[in-house]
Amino acid sequence: MPHPRPSAEQAVAFGARLRQLRQERHFSLEQVALETDISLQHLSLLERGLSDQAKQTPANPRLGVLLQLAQTLETDIAELITPLSGSLLEQAEQQVEDAEQRTGDGSQPTRRADRG
């Protein structure tokens, strides 16, 4: 099953949330870029919901970058990605449903009991 990737709308929502948190804390782009050890250009792209300006590719930051941003902005990742959490879950659930329809049986995969 393919991994869920953020849509352009989700990337823009993430960027807006990132900008909002940065501005609420009265941090400049330069301060956050320096403290997170990412380039000013990369941070600017993330705030616009992009990973590549020329290709207009939606932002899809790595976990390490999210952790650095959350730490710098004195928050946690959940707060940083709040606008995404519901829609990403819905997208993943839809992919599972699509996969089940392709198999034709619609049955749920069985889970092994935890033997802890």
Q: Which amino acid is at 93?
A: E
- Facing residues of 31 across strands? none
Cβ atoms within 10 Å, residue 110: 6
> What whole-number distance in Å separates Cα of residue 3 and Cα of residue 75?
26
The model's pLDDT over 72-97, given as tens digits with 9 standing for 90+, comes to: 999 999 888 886 655 545 655 565 67
The model's pLDDT over 26-73, given as tens digits with 9 standing for 90+, comes to: 999 999 999 999 999 999 999 999 988 888 889 999 999 999 999 999
Looking at CATH, the fold of the domain delimited by 8-85 is given as 434 Repressor (Amino-terminal Domain) (1.10.260)
Domain limits, the chain: 8-85
63 Cβ contact list (under 8 Å, min separation 6): none
